[in-house]
């Protein structure tokens, strides 16, 4: 058997293992993830995943993972979505904070935070964006001043996903003001139960409080919680954002599920779609399959030398696909009668909640406009 054939056989075995285990263990009908009370069920599920070795398959074995490569990681995500697994409550920790600690943290920091992160005993959120520092992250104003062996933090973060049920936040704070703006930034881990921290959920257009504001008023944080050293936060953050924009967070399967739900809605309603909507349905399906092939290519090229720039386009592709998919859904549900006269059915209410949220996909993980600039300048070599 050739090496490629052996790898394919190994992936097939991995897929079969996952499909069998997830088919037996995935919980059904968890409550909406809207606060600490509901979060308990999701934490318990993460513990079940950790016990089986599936909580973070891409983490090294010594930290509780399986040392999986990008292709194995992508297969896990596909099977997880195929089994309709619950929302991953600690995705910010598992995808961002954890790998960042492995790259920049001390041994003490890794021992302190990684085990609890893996099991969701401590849930994490990301404190980067501020009211005046979203796309221009180097303009952040949350300030930390050293006082002995502590930092005293004052400022505000916004659009912080999951802060209303998280335990910890990894945040960027300004610790210096001399030189270029990005050189005075520090990455620090902050316990959200520390006196002086206030979390205020933000109810969005879809009626859900998925984001929050986080305020810091004279919050005292041990210097031991700084990751990567004072003033080195920009480098740490850019590494973390590279983890966020990879292929391990979503796969094409979730989009196929959505298209199948629309197909069933049309069939049950017994309606004929407008030809333009039918054409859009086919175009979106083609884009979903293109995304499948693209993510497989990214995973296959992950270890190439020199590295290819293919992954740089990932965030643009899935975010635009997500918006287009839910726009299609809105058109289809109008045709089936689920959105007539301002009284959506239960099926349409769920879909429209995602329809409104999909617009955020063009903003979080780096706005699409900024991503295009980065690709133009750093991948294609175009002038600023």
306: preceding bond cis by omega (within 30 degrees): yes
C-alpha dist (Å) from residue 268 to 263, 331, 350: 9, 16, 17
Q: CA 174 to CA 215: how far, in whole Å?
A: 15
R_g of the chain computed on alpha carbons:
22
C-alpha distances in angstroms, 110 versus 99, 123, 356?
10, 15, 38
- Give CA separation, 275 vs 135, 210, 255, 272, 341, in Å: 39, 36, 22, 9, 23
CA–CA distance, 300 with 314 (Å, rounded to integer)? 14
The answer to whether 147 and 223 have CB atoms below 8 angstroms apart is no
Q: Which long-range contacts (CB under 8 A, 24 or more apart) does 367-372 make?
A: 367/134, 367/135, 368/315, 368/316, 368/319, 368/320, 369/135, 370/135, 371/312, 371/315, 371/316, 372/316
Contacts of 216 (CB under 8 A, 6+ apart): 142, 153, 154, 155, 156, 157, 190, 196, 197
Candidates 79, 81, 122, 244; catalytic one: 244
C-alpha dist (Å) from residue 337 to 142, 242, 274, 342, 351: 48, 43, 14, 11, 14
Instruction: Tokens 């309606």: give the residue.
Output: 271
> Catalytic site residue 260?
no
Residue 168 host element (H or E): strand 168-174
3-state secondary structure of 213: strand
Catalytic residue set: 244
């Amino acid at each position: 058997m050739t090496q490629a054939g052996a790898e394919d056989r190994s992936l097939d075995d991995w897929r079969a293992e996952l499909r069998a285990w997830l088919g037996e263990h995935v919980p059904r009908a968890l409550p909406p993830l809207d606060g600490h009370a509901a979060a308990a069920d999701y934490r318990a599920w993460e513990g079940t995943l950790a016990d089986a070795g599936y909580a973070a398959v891409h983490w090294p074995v010594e930290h509780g993972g399986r040392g999986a490569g990008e292709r194995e990681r992508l297969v896990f995500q596909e099977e997880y979505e195929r089994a309709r697994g619950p929302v991953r409550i600690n995705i910010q920790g598992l995808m961002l904070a954890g790998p960042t600690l492995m790259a920049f943290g001390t041994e003490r920091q890794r021992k302190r935070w990684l085990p609890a992160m893996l099991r969701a005993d401590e849930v994490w959120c990301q404190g980067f964006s501020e009211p005046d520092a979203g796309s221009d992250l180097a303009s952040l104003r949350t300030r930390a001043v050293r006082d002995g062996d502590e930092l005293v933090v004052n400022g505000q973060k916004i659009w912080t996903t999951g802060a209303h049920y998280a335990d910890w936040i990894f945040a960027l704070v300004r610790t210096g003001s001399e030189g270029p703006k990005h050189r005075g930034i520090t990455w620090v881990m902050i316990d959200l139960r520390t006196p002086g921290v206030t979390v205020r959920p933000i109810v969005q257009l879809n009626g859900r409080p998925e984001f929050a504001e986080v305020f810091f008023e004279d919050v005292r944080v041990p210097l031991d919680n700084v990751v990567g050293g004072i003033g080195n936060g920009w480098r740490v953050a850019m590494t973390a954002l590279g983890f966020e924009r990879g292929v391990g967070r979503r796969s094409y399967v979730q989009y196929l599920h959505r298209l199948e739900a629309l197909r069933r809605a049309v069939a049950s309603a017994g309606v004929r779609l407008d030809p333009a909507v039918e054409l859009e349905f086919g175009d979106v399906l083609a884009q979903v399959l293109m995304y499948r092939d693209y993510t497989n290519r990214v995973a296959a090229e992950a270890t190439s030398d020199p590295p290819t720039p293919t992954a740089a386009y990932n965030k643009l592709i899935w975010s635009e696909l997500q918006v287009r998919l839910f726009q299609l859904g809105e058109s289809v549900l109008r045709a089936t009668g689920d959105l007539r006269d301002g009284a959506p059915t239960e099926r349409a209410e769920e879909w429209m909640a995602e329809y409104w949220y999909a617009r955020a996909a063009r903003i979080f993980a780096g706005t699409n406009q900024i991503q295009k600039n980065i690709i133009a300048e750093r991948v294609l070599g175009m002038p600023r």
